[in-house]
Structure 1
């Protein structure tokens, strides 16, 4: 455990150096130099455009359009959206040819007049179903369709949809004068001005079914045209700004990795040079050149990793731009939150990739550990970014620091966030070590008891091994003795065989002598018999 703790502490020191350099070079260095974050992000959302102020409007052109949309509606404003008299009359004549009052259903005469139920004969006039005033006040219409041409707001596209046949209705002059720029539905439900309490719809004999159909057609036309134009505008801007941010974020990641490797290498080589001194076989210049060459070689080896980081950075840059846009569709984000989203997106992507798709050389537990460390760095960095302006403002209040506040603050915040990130990563490592190696004290006691039992068992094995070695030695001596006895028995066997052969020869010789003796006895016996027979004769 002591060795593990020392290893963790050494890793903490190394991580502090790595994290501090990464933070100063990355979020608090290259990011601030390369990116100019804006309130609300790079693309103006309808939510931000609908605010009274233009602090969250992305571009200067959109700010001009926003200012135009804030203008009070009056005759001058109305004139921008109206057709020329010739164009207006042509549209009126086309409607008269259809021969119907589009609100009441009354017949329109060829001469362009209408006979009302009260006997009056009045002129037929064109009315904007959705009034110009209402269209002028629609934020989606202004943001989607208004353009800035030669420094001036051009409402030609709005003029086109507001005067489209879908938004024009032929009706009688008194009704048109009464409706004016009111909303058609609201106007119908209102009591007739100066009347006896009946609604405008009843007084002017409006066919509500017909007028409602016309109102829905006109409203759908306005909204569809505005929303399609807004979608096209925002999609183009998202692709444009997303590609730009992807390229810059990818470049930042690649440069950040290579610069971090370069600075780390230079720092380590300088430390070794100070500690070990100059090689006796080289001059100072040669030694420095060799060490620089070694550092540059290590940087070059990191190029493939830098390209991988560039790809990941590009994806996170594009996605952060899109996420910022989506969030600003619901609430307005200050530029520091835009920075947090951009710089945090890559960390979140790496953390969840690590946790959900662990590398082959890692277990799920180890991947979770590394993922949590990345998430911790993301959180600490985000807090640092949010505090950056506050710290800069505070430092600006100190007279001798004011000229350098903007320069010192990122470095100071980078150092603090780097150290805090490394310390929290160290605590996570310690937590996982405790989880893996010491669930509780009883478990540790059991480990110690088990170790003692293993020690006793090992001692018994040693004793048994020594006894077995003694037995093996005795067996070896017995085998040698048996071998000696075997040699003796072999010699005795040879002698016995020789004696047996001699005995066999003796037996054979004896048998011959016995045969001879028996033959001699038989001869003597026969001779005696012959002598006795001879004697008996006499």
Structure 2
């Protein structure tokens, strides 16, 4: 086997052992150690939601401790005496108009009575109102809303007495002796609908505003507390993990190597402790960063738990999972999306997946912890320490499993990179062959170009000689033209002379003819 592969395998195994140690210590100190001591997670989270408050499928532990009294009051039987009655002044003011609010007719004030459009019983039996108005023994705030002007109408006693706690539209539709109350009492639909709409809108908006104000304040308070605790836990966890790891490694080396020559055991231990403390001090800036991240995670997990509980009721284990898991998710997202300097995107993805794996394993561990603790409590001698022991056992198991899965991820990415490197080398080799062929073609083309250039040079020389010959021919032609011009001029002169000679001869011939003619006649 190749020596390099053997060394690589040994390095990976050593890294696995180191990661197991690191993960086990981190899990035992962090989620299954400090978290148990610092956080008291409860069913439904830290802020009571309307969903949990109204639900009959959950027990009171889904309601915050401060809301337990209101929770019980919302499920108690309606008792009219618990809600304050209208004052005499308010009744008189309401009746002084002398107009029936449901019929629109003028009525003697002595015959008018104050009617609660939405009945006191309906208001009491709407559980949301008890959470909104924090009703207790006094029912003061609930009474104030129930007896508000928007929920009161002055009507004739003949309407108010039979209506009692019924809805006004429901009462108007009821038939008595074959005749609807609407027709029998002269009730007008537009007045009844307007009164009902005004009442329901006022009661609903008032309750919603009260709940929003209540929950917003509690979210800030509990979120701040969760942020502080989570920040403290993260910073302490990092420093304690560094301390325990350092002590473990230093004493492991001490046991293996022994005391250095010339030193006492006390001096050796003191020196190693100083090194450990120095390494812990160096981690303080990182602990401060972890405190900030933990604070953000603590606040956000509290908010997310609240949002979830508006639709689903979460058990306390899921509250813990949300808090611990959110921190891991933030770390993984930050690692993948914003890799540290000097880390490639592939390496960042690898580290991010390892963090996500640890989150999943830890979440499963939280779900199993309660079952393990319950099992341990079946052993009488473990009952006092069952919760602590279960935390340690689950912490060790999740730490080892997280390290093993991280090791498998490293191997997977290593195989992927090796296969990728092989493909890359093949591609490079193929590219080299293509490059070599292209270079050969370029050489051939270059040689052809050089040959063409040489021929061009010879052609240019030939053109130059031809030019010289043409120049000489031109010059010869010019000389010949000059000679021809001279010959023409000479010929012209000779012709002129010849003409004169001929003329002279003609004259001489005429004289001779005349002479010989005369001789003949004589």
Tell me the SS of whatever aligns to 2:112.
Answer: strand
The correspondence of residues 231-250 of structure 1 with structure 2, limited to 5 A, is 231-250=212-231
Aligned match of 1:4: 8
Q: Structure 2 vs 1, CA of residues 147 and 293 (structure 1 numbering), >3 Å: closer, same or farther?
A: farther
- Aligned pair 1:195/2:188, yes or no? no
Aligned match for 2:112, one of 116, 124, 129 = 124
Post-superposition CA distance 1:288-331 (Å, at most 9, x none): 10100000000000000001000000000011011111111101
CA distance in 1, matches of 2:114, 2:23: 71
- Aligned pair 1:215/2:215, yes or no? no
Aligned match of 2:64: 59
Q: Where do 5+ consecutive residues of structure 1 fail to align?
A: 114-122, 458-538
Contact kept in structure 2, 1:96 and 1:108, CA below 8 Å: no
Which stretch has the larger CA shift, 178-187 or 219-228?
178-187
The correspondence of residues 262-273 of structure 1 with structure 2, limited to 5 A, is 262-273=243-254
Aligned match of 2:311: 330
Tell me the SS of whatever aligns to 1:169.
Answer: strand
Aligned match for 2:124, one of 130, 136, 149 = 136
- Aligned pair 1:368/2:349, yes or no? yes
- Aligned pair 1:95/2:94, yes or no? yes
**Structure 1 residue 195: deviation in Å?**
1.8
Aligned match of 1:224: 205
CA distance in 1, matches of 2:138, 2:402: 52
Q: Structure 2 vs 1, CA of residues 154 and 233 (structure 1 numbering), >3 Å: closer, same or farther?
A: farther
CA distance in 2, matches of 1:426, 1:161: 63
TM-score (norm 1): 0.76
**Structure 1 residue 154: deviation in Å?**
3.2
The correspondence of residues 327-476 of structure 1 with structure 2, limited to 5 A, is 327-439=308-420, 443=423, 446=426
Aligned match of 1:276: 257
Q: How many positions carry a matched residue from both structures?
A: 428
Tell me the SS of whatever aligns to 2:165.
Answer: coil
Which stretch has the larger CA shift, 19-28 or 231-240?
231-240
Aligned match of 2:508: none
Contact kept in structure 1, 2:32 and 2:391, CA below 8 Å: yes
CA distance in 2, matches of 1:247, 1:58: 23
CA distance in 1, matches of 2:151, 2:425: 86
TM-score (norm 2): 0.78
Post-superposition CA distance 1:408-432 (Å, at most 9, x none): 1111100000000011111111111
Q: Structure 2 vs 1, CA of residues 445 and 2 (structure 1 numbering), >3 Å: closer, same or farther?
A: farther
Which stretch has the larger CA shift, 13-22 or 364-373?
364-373
Tell me the SS of whatever aligns to 2:260.
Answer: coil
Post-superposition CA distance 1:223-269 (Å, at most 9, x none): 11111111111111111111111100100000000000000000000
Q: Where do 5+ consecutive residues of structure 2 fail to align?
A: 437-522
Post-superposition CA distance 1:461-520 (Å, at most 9, x none): xxxxxxxxxxxxxxxxxxxxxxxxxxxxxxxxxxxxxxxxxxxxxxxxxxxxxxxxxxxx
CA distance in 2, matches of 1:444, 1:366: 18
Post-superposition CA distance 1:422-460 (Å, at most 9, x none): 1111111111111111159x849959x969x99xx9xxx
Aligned match of 1:72: 77
Q: Structure 2 vs 1, CA of residues 213 and 19 (structure 1 numbering), >3 Å: closer, same or farther?
A: same
Aligned match of 1:177: 161
**Structure 1 residue 95: deviation in Å?**
2.3
Tell me the SS of whatever aligns to 2:312.
Answer: coil
**Structure 1 residue 199: deviation in Å?**
2.7
Post-superposition CA distance 1:106-134 (Å, at most 9, x none): 1123xx15xxxxxxxxx111100010001
CA distance in 1, matches of 2:12, 2:132: 57
Post-superposition CA distance 1:140-170 (Å, at most 9, x none): 210010245xxxx331111111101110000
**Structure 1 residue 186: deviation in Å?**
2.4
- Could you say what the CA RMSD is over the residues aligned between the two structures, in angstroms? 2.2
**Structure 1 residue 51: deviation in Å?**
2.2
Which stretch has the larger CA shift, 275-284 or 309-318?
275-284
Q: Structure 2 vs 1, CA of residues 370 and 154 (structure 1 numbering), >3 Å: closer, same or farther?
A: farther
CA distance in 2, matches of 1:364, 1:154: 63
CA distance in 2, matches of 1:351, 1:171: 66
Aligned match of 2:85: 83
**Structure 1 residue 207: deviation in Å?**
0.9
